[in-house]
Chain A
Amino acid sequence: MTSTILDPATTAVTGPPARQSRKRRSSTTRKTFGDWMILLVAVLIGLLIAVPFFLILINSFKSPADYNAAGPLTLPTDLYFDGMINFWERVNFPEKLWNSFFISSVVAILAVVISLLNAFALGIGRVRGRTWIVLLILLANMLPQEVLLYPLYFMFKTVGLYDNQWAVIIIFVVIQSAFGTYLLASVLGTFPKEILEAASLDGASRWTILYRVVYPITNPP
């Protein structure tokens, strides 16, 4: 019977895979005092890390009077939603959320486009001096952002993009695409050559190869 032969527990005498899984099974059940102590330590560390989150949660449902009377550590006497409602209305939270959503979506799309173009030239095109180009691009990640503050502030003010979402978007596209280029260039450097050869034999131009071959294959399904 196939099932008995494949059952690791019954064929423990032979074959390394069987022995291995049997051993693991036995060690799952045999827990020493020390194992429990280690679990306890791990759980305590987890609790310590999570405590600030609990505090935030319980205090966000407390009325100011309740907070003043009992302090931050007690559970709220009754659920108080005014704080949240006031906050939501005062800062116009939907607007802020929309800004975040809009800026991050545009940045994500543009940064991927720029990274893919860069990585196509560096990884597949094998442009000369590519290591140095990658290092130059990575400068965007290494610089302390204070270096950029004054010049960018001034530059965007001159071209009238001061106090504008597009200034933020352009800056973040450059910074984010630096890491994207680094990662994608290493990945595309190992792109299967046969596929590219086949495509170019079929007469595909480089743009077509980028758009119809490299992009779909790199893109997760």
Chain B
Amino acid sequence: MTTASVADAPVDAPAAGNKPVRQSLIPGSNPKTFWIYLIPGLALLTLIIVVPLVWNIYLTFTDYRGIKPPEWVGLENWVKLAGDTTFWTSFSNSIAMIVAMVVVPTLLGLVLAAMLFDLIGKKFGGKIASFLRATYYLPQILPGVVAAIVIGWILRPQNGALNQVLEGIGLGGLAQNWLGDPDTALPSIMVIMIWVQLGYPIVIFMAALQRVDPELYEAAELDGANWIQRFRAITVSIIRPEIFVVTLTCTIAALKVFGPIYTLTGGGPGTSTIVPAYYAYSEFFQSQQVGYGATIATALTIVIAAVSVVFLLAQTRLERQEEER
């Protein structure tokens, strides 16, 4: 499931004796002639992705308000960005988003998937395990924005369900303006994102666990390994590819998160829940500082691309080590 696997696909048997000839899978046709099939895809990609990206990079060196033509200002936006506390706040909030959308769901998802598969599935039957899995997956079927609206309504300060529950059980003192208070806004959003994300790793990990040979567990059990030891030595090591895929896709999603922030808090109160994607959006469309918005968006792109490349390299290296062993 990595990009590397595209390249690692079975290599053509080298032509006997002489140097390996580059060959497509169809005998007698030169790979070069296959470019024609890439034309529609790459043309669309250029139009929708590459041109805007290059344009965006150009805009980072300009002062542009959306009306008068962009004015070249050199590195001014980048210098401003480096000293912009809102920008750095947005990135530290991104770390909170990574905790809520990657770290907690992946760890909790691992434990829950192993628990459902290994204990509940075996002792109480597969039906109960699949039913619970479907329940955990429920928030994932909602569009992110809708999920956020639902939770926003539950967290409302007046008449909100959460505050009513707290009052009902005699903890009225804990009732809060959950999303309106700078102290609780970010933690509330983190809890919401855990709720949204949790189902995804569980479903992927449970599918991966089908690969695990039950005899491995039995052998470990006979050797006296307890559940935690079996979990670490067998479960985690066998489903490592899926752990990588889940972590990478969730990290990209966490860095890009926009919808829930847009619907729930608009980055506020103050800048307590601002994230880079929302900050870029507000500079683009609310302050009409297009050049600066482009700078924030480009910085975010660089971070995401770097994270993805590091992930993929680490994964390829681990896979190679695994093969050598």
Where the two chains meet, the residues of A that have a C-beta atom closer than 8 Å to any C-beta of B are: 16, 20, 23-24, 27-28, 31, 35, 38-39, 42-43, 45-46, 49-50, 52-53, 55-56, 71-73, 114-115, 117-118, 120-128, 130-131, 133-152, 155, 170-171, 173-175, 177-178, 181-182, 185-186, 189-191, 193, 196-197, 199-200, 206, 209-210
- Contact among A72, A121, A185 with B160 in the assembled complex (CB-CB below 8 Å): A72
Tell me whether B35 and A150 are in contact (CB under 8 A): no
Known: A135-B3, A147-B298, A189-B9. A46 touches B135 (CB 8 A): yes
Highest count of chain B CB atoms <10 Å: which of A115, A120, A126, A177: A126
Tell me whether B53 and A143 are in contact (CB under 8 A): yes
Please give the distance in Å from B189's CB to the nearest CB on chain A: 15
Tell me whether B34 and A140 are in contact (CB under 8 A): no
Tell me, in angstroms, the Cα distance from A96 to B92 when the chains sit together: 38
Question: Chain B residues near A24 (CB, 8 Å)?
Answer: 122, 214
What is the chain B residue whose CB lies nearest that of A46?
B135
- Contact among B52, B128, B305 with A148 in the assembled complex (CB-CB below 8 Å): B52
- Confirm or deny: B198 has a beta carbon within 8 angstroms of a beta carbon on chain A: yes
Proximity bits, B269-284, A CB within 8 Å = 1, else 0: 0000000110011001
- Confirm or deny: B165 has a beta carbon within 8 angstroms of a beta carbon on chain A: yes
- Tell which of B22-30, B76-84, B95-103 binds the partner: B22-30
Tell me whether A43 and B132 are in contact (CB under 8 A): yes
Q: Is the interface of B mostly helix, strand, loop or mixed?
A: helix
Please give the distance in Å from B90's CB to the nearest CB on chain A: 12
Please give the distance in Å from A109's CB to the nearest CB on chain B: 14
Known: A144-B297, A145-B258. A42 touches B115 (CB 8 A): yes
Tell me, in angstroms, the Cα distance from A152 to B49 when the chains sit together: 9
Which residues B253-289 have CB closer than 8 A to chain A?
A: 255-256, 258, 276-277, 280-281, 284-285
Tell me whether A134 and B25 are in contact (CB under 8 A): no
- Contact among A126, A140, A150 with B22 in the assembled complex (CB-CB below 8 Å): A126
Tell me, in angstroms, the Cα distance from A191 to B252 when the chains sit together: 30
Tell me whether B159 and A142 are in contact (CB under 8 A): no
- Contact among B28, B45, B258, B297 with A140 in the assembled complex (CB-CB below 8 Å): B45
Highest count of chain B CB atoms <10 Å: which of A42, A178, A209: A42
Known: A24-B122, A127-B34, A152-B48. A147 touches B25 (CB 8 A): no
Tell me, in angstroms, the Cα distance from A142 to B41 when the chains sit together: 17
